[in-house]
């Protein structure tokens, strides 16, 4: 600790250069925090998947629909406890940037399938009674200031109405659900499938995918295989998968997030390695006489090496703390999208480890050079 003032003063010897280097590292760690945070949020979503639930999609593609009639057949498969379904409505509220995760469902069947979604019984009954009714998540309601009784117009990018060809659909909010275990799930919008099915211009009698609750999680593979076998060689072959697999494949519609994030971060850190490394080398080159004086005063080769490495660690860790700190401040703003209210601790820890590694890699060559300085030659300017 007693060397900290010396390290700090050495770091700020060339203020402008240090500020620019610091800012470049801050920017890199801000990016690291945000991208790794997004990655962690996606992985967490998959990790929260229920092991008792399977998702049955079309074997051709996740975007292909399945006939409603399959539901009863799936329900009859040995080991199946309950079945519900979902469809992708693809809508926004007022402006395309206000994307809404919206799904037509059968009210009681849906909330029975997802017991973690908490909806008061009177509101569920109102949802069942009101054909134009909708239930929204608490976070979504808060975001747009919606309350029960409000009429909400949604514009679907897929579905048109058969009565007027319009893509605009109106709903009345009759309930607001919460998900205490995962507030990230409180950004969805559910409305009555029956009314939707009658009103849509095409695709009647079909749903997007089925959700199947099984009696024994250990039998998931067998039950899934039995469901797929049931529809093998039909016009609507299925592919049953665990909820986690489904969510991962759903997220991969956006691309392999982990792959993209990793490649971006590698590119950023390689660039940073060269930038910081060259700054540290230049900084030590300029201070050769000063380092020689320290050695003259009795600082050993090892201590001089440690001081230069310490300076590099101080710069990188300080910058990483600032970058990750800004990411942590920005992260709550993405709560609605990612479902995470704060930057995960493992991302912060990973960032700090990366900062120390960066510091050691960029600091080692100049530190070794400082260690091997010959005092007489350095003082003589040779």
Partner 1 sequence: MNAIVTLQNVTKRYTRGKQTVEVLHGIDLEIAQGDFVALMGPSGSGKTTLLNLIGGLDQPSTGSVAVAGERIDSLSGSRLAKWRARHIGFVFQFYNLMPMLTAQRNVELPLLLTSLSASQRKRNAEAALAVVGLAERARHKPNELSGGQAQRVAIARALVADPTLLVCDEPTGDLDRSTADEILNLLQVLNREHGKTIVMVTHDPKAAEFATHQLHLDKGKLVGTTATSTTAA
**Chain residues that interact with partner 1, rule: CB under 8 A:** 2-3, 5-6, 9-10, 12-13, 289-290, 293-303, 375-376, 379
* CA atoms of 256 and 248, how far apart (whole Å): 9
Comparing CB distances to partner 1, the nearer of 11 and 54 is 11
Least separation, in Å, of the C-beta of 281 and partner 1? 19
Report, in Å, the least distance between residue 356 CB and partner 1. Answer: 24
Least distance from partner 1 to the Cβ atom of residue 376, Å: 5
Q: Which of 365, 277, 363 is nearest to 312 (CA)?
A: 363
Residue closer to partner 1 by CB (options 165, 381) is 381
Residue 179 contacts residue 186 (beta carbons within 8 Å):
yes
Query: In the bound complex, what is the minimum distance in angstroms from residue 8's beta carbon to partner 1?
Result: 9
Find the helix or strand (DSSP H, E) in which 210 lies.
strand 209-214
Look up residue 95 and give its DSSP letter. Answer: S
Cα dihedral value 370, 374, 379, 382, nearest 10: -100
Q: Give me 127's structure tokens.
A: 């949802």
Query: How far is the CA of 169 from the CAs of 161, 175, 199, in angstroms?
Result: 8, 18, 10
| Shortest spacing between CB 295 and partner 1, in angstroms | 7
Task: Give φ, ψ of 68 to 5 degrees.
Answer: -60, -30
Tell me how many degrees the CA angle 241-52-111 measures, rounded to the nearest 5. 100
- At its nearest, how many Å lie between partner 1 and the CB of residue 380? 8
Q: How far apart are CA 293 and CA 275, in angstroms?
A: 28
Nearest CB to partner 1, comparing residues 223 and 291: 291
Look at residues 142, 143, 138, 167 and name the one whose alpha carbon lies nearest to residue 154: 167
Least CB distance from residue 370 to partner 1, whole Å?
A: 14
**Nearer to partner 1 among residue 88 and residue 299 (C-beta):** 299
Looking at beta carbons only, is 23 or 376 nearer to partner 1? 376
Question: 134 or 308, CB closer to partner 1?
Answer: 308
Nearest CA among 16, 77, 79 for reference residue 52? 79
**Residue closer to partner 1, measured from CB, 213 or 303:** 303
* Distance in angstroms (rounded) separating the CA atoms of residues 360 and 358: 6
């Amino acid at each position: 600790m007693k060397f900290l003032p010396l390290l700090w003063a050495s770091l700020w010897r060339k203020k402008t250069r240090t500020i620019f280097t610091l800012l470049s590292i801050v920017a890199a760690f801000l990016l690291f925090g945000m991208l790794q945070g997004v990655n962690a949020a996606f992985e967490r979503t998959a990790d929260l998947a229920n092991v008792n639930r399977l998702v049955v999609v079309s074997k051709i593609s996740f975007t292909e629909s399945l006939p409603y009639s399959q539901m009863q057949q799936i329900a009859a498969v040995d080991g199946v406890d309950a079945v519900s379904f979902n469809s992708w409505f693809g809508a926004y509220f007022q402006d395309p940037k206000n994307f809404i995760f919206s799904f037509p469902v059968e009210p009681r069947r849906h909330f029975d399938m997802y017991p973690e979604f908490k909806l008061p019984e009177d509101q569920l009954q109102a949802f069942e009674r009101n054909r134009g009714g909708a239930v929204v998540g608490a976070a979504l309601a808060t975001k747009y200031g919606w309350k029960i009784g409000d009429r909400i117009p949604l514009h679907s990018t897929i579905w048109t109405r058969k009565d007027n060809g319009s893509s605009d659909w109106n709903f009345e909010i009759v309930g607001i659900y919460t998900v205490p275990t995962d507030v990230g799930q409180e950004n969805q919008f559910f409305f009555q499938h029956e009314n939707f099915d009658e009103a849509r211009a095409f695709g009647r009698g079909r749903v997007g995918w089925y959700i199947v609750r099984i009696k024994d999680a250990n039998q998931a593979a067998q039950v899934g295989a039995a469901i797929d076998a049931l529809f093998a060689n039909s016009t609507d072959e299925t592919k049953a998968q665990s909820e986690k697999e489904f969510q991962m494949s759903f997220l991969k519609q956006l691309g392999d997030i982990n792959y993209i994030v990793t490649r971006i971060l590698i590119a950023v850190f390689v660039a940073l390695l060269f930038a910081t490394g060259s700054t540290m080398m230049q900084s030590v080159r300029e201070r050769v006489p000063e380092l020689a004086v320290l050695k003259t005063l009795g600082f050993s080769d090892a201590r001089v090496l440690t001081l230069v490495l310490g300076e590099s660690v101080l710069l990188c860790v300080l910058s990483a703390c600032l970058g990750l700190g800004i990411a942590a401040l920005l992260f709550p703003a993405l709560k609605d999208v990612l479902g995470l209210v704060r930057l995960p601790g493992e991302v912060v820890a990973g960032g700090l480890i990366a900062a120390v590694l960066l510091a050691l890699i960029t600091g080692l060559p100049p530190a070794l050079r400082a260690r091997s300085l010959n005092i007489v030659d350095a003082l003589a300017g040779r």
